[in-house]
Amino acid sequence: MIWKALHNILPTKLNLYKKKVINDPRCPICLQGEESVVHVLWTCPASSDVWAEKGSSFQKWNSKGEDFVELWLKMVEGLPQSELERGVAIMHSIWIRRNKWVFDNCFSSPFSVMRKAQVCLDEFQEAQRESISDGRKMGKSQQRRPWQKPEELSVKVNFDAALDLNKKLMGAGVVIRDWRGDVLVSLCAQFKHVSSPFIAECKALGRAVELCKELGFYNVWFEGDAKRVVDGVNKEEEDESWEGQAVGDLQKELRGCRGWKLTFTHRECNEVAHCLAKIGLSIEMERVWMECVPPEIVPKVVNDKHCNQLNT
């Protein structure tokens, strides 16, 4: 998120207005100023209330007259690493609250935003410690296979399914990440009347494909740990078996998009999608998160990104 904020490509009202996507650039929370990046994360009265919370090291910081790049440079130059990480976590929580208000009409108190920021920061730091510890303990040959990032300007889509055979219920999990390993979109969905693991994985891949079409992604690397499904979709010759018929539509979708590909990976490289799929079993309505995942999965995202950096 910080990278997008620094490059002024965060989807604020002002940026969407400049692209002629919407007609009103005003902040959806205070309804006063234009919703620029620095406004939503720093100068909006609602955001200022968060930064002024009791115990915050940012209470006495001036909230006026800066653009976001100037603010960020001030933070980098004037804060120790621990406080800089805290500031990033607070900004992330403020942005999440903003999206919850815009899309779900739900608004959290400053105390709640700070608490969620602290939880995310604790999980991030714990994941960092575990990843460093694991890297020291294991030799190169013993290290887990890392999640691999896509090429620049491409996205990678991991998908998975979780199946409850007794209830004939499945959960689908999809996570879309960019070439830096940052989450763009994550999704959980539930499907009923499913009793075949093969069909469950096909449905999960199908929802991943639909999501990419909805979002207009062109250079896409799909990856899943269901080898039979991946092999079936990639098979060149015609297959009249029931499995071949089940993947027929998926073959047409992927072959119809020149920049799309599908590969197999091991479960250890697909943990984020797997956890999302398990959450899908417990929800009735499809859930979509923009630029984040459910809090309990954050450590796995951080670990994937960190392990990938260690192996590059």
CATH number of the domain encompassing residue 293: 3.30.420.10
* 8 and 133 belong to one structural domain: yes
* 102 and 23 belong to one structural domain: yes
* 62 and 92 belong to one structural domain: yes
Beta-carbon contacts of 9 under 8 Å, excluding residues fewer than 6 positions away, are 15
Asked, for residue 242, whether it belongs to a domain, the answer is yes
- Residue 298's domain comprises 155-310
* 108 and 175 belong to one structural domain: no
Pairing of strands 155-164, 220-224: parallel
Query: How many domains would you assign to the chain?
Result: 2
Query: Which of 109, 137, 165 is where one domain is finished?
Result: 137
* 42 and 163 belong to one structural domain: no
- Name the more confident of 83 and 134: 83
Residue 141 has pLDDT above 50, yes or no: no
pLDDT the model gives residue 140 = 46
Q: What's the whole-model pTM score? A: 0.60
* 95 and 161 belong to one structural domain: no
* 117 and 166 belong to one structural domain: no
Asked, for residue 144, whether it belongs to a domain, the answer is no
* 159 and 295 belong to one structural domain: yes
Query: Which of 82, 107, 137 is where one domain is finished?
Result: 137
Query: Which of 111, 137, 163 is where one domain is finished?
Result: 137
Asked, for residue 147, whether it belongs to a domain, the answer is no
- Distance between CA atoms of residues 161 and 138, nearest Å: 30
* 38 and 172 belong to one structural domain: no
Residue 68 has pLDDT above 90, yes or no: no
pLDDT tens digits, 201-220: 999 999 999 999 999 998 99
* 40 and 161 belong to one structural domain: no
pLDDT the model gives residue 260 = 95
* 123 and 194 belong to one structural domain: no
* pLDDT averaged over every residue in the chain: 87
Asked, for residue 146, whether it belongs to a domain, the answer is no
pLDDT the model gives residue 137 = 53
Mean pLDDT: which of 101-115, 138-152, 156-170 is highest? 156-170
- The answer to whether 286 and 189 are in contact (CB under 8 A) is yes
Asked, for residue 255, whether it belongs to a domain, the answer is yes
* 293 and 186 belong to one structural domain: yes
Asked, for residue 143, whether it belongs to a domain, the answer is no
pLDDT tens digits, 173-193: 999 999 999 999 999 999 999
Asked, for residue 252, whether it belongs to a domain, the answer is yes
- Name the more confident of 135 and 8: 8
Inter-axis angle of helices 110-137 and 298-310, to 10 degrees?
40
3-state SS, one letter per residue, for the chain? CHHHHHCCCCCCHHHHHHCCCCCCCECCCCCCCECCHHHHHHHCHHHHHHHCCCCCCCCCCCCCCCCHHHHHHHHHHHCCHHHHHHHHHHHHHHHHHHHHHHHHCCCCCHHHHHHHHHHHHHHHHHHHHHHHHHHHHCCHHHCCCCCCCCCCCCEEEEEEEEEECCCCEEEEEEEEECCCCCEEEEEEEEEECCCCHHHHHHHHHHHHHHHHHHHCCCCEEEEECCHHHHHHHHCCCCCCCHHHHHCHHHHHHHHCCCCEEEEECCHHHCHHHHHHHHHHCCCCCCEEEECCCCHHHHHHHHHHHHHHHHCC
Asked, for residue 149, whether it belongs to a domain, the answer is no
